[in-house]
Amino acid sequence: MPEAALLGRVRGLWEGLAGSGARFPADGGTQVVVSPGSRLCPPAWVGAVRIGDSALVTAPDEATARRIPADFEALRPTGEAGGMPGSARDALGPAALAYLPPGGLRVTATAAVATPEAVRRLLETVGAEDANESGLADTDSPVFAVRSGSRLLAAAGYEVWPASTAHMCVLAAPEARGRGLATEAAAAAVRHALDAGLLPQWRARVGASRRVAERLGFREVGEQMSVRFRI
């Protein structure tokens, strides 16, 4: 898929999630819109997503919109927003956004489908934070896994998002990380998504996850974050 076509499809996805007829600026830069029902962020937060050289930011109300800087970069937790220090905000992210178009998978898919009980046991071993971050409990697809006996070492599936997008969900047991097992499990889930005609999406906040996506063939095209301004 050509770069322009990929960026157009991805922007369409995030515009739909932003709601209120939001659109990325055609000539680059940042567009701020008021959208109380935005799905870019938790309720009452500011949602921000950059795809290529264009950024879209949603605010829950006009008062908050006036506090948002014109530059996407100024929203970062480590920077300043409109002269306000980073300590005046709460933030989730930023997280890198990567996509894998048809024909882009670089890893052979060999992992097999896991049982719901085996997936539940894996989720219990990693703790609530890692389990929630993975999204593995909310997949719409089968869950594919690498195992040792009956125990799962790594597992992957996906949620079906709007615009025929497959949001990838991947998790490895703590003692199995760094061995390429998450890549192996994810390859099977990605292959399933591609065969279903979906565009796989990878959202990553840590370097290890981004490296897995790169090995699979994903291309980073932007980033997403949520910000809450304190009163």
Superfamily of domain 112-196: Gcn5-related N-acetyltransferase (GNAT) (3.40.630.30)
Looking at residue 47, its pLDDT comes to 96
Indicate the pLDDT class of residue 78, thresholds 50, 70 and 90: low
Tokens for 59? 């605010």
Q: Give mean pLDDT, residues 142-162.
A: 93
Looking at residue 4, its pLDDT comes to 86
Residue 23's φ and ψ, nearest 5 degrees, are -140, 140
pTM: 0.91
Q: What is the pLDDT of residues 162-171, one digit of tens each?
A: 999 999 999 9
Tokens for 176? 């199995």
Q: What is the pLDDT of residues 92-139, one digit of tens each?
A: 889 999 999 888 999 999 899 999 999 999 998 888 888 888 889 999
Q: Residue ranges of the domains in the chain?
A: 3-96+224-229, 112-196
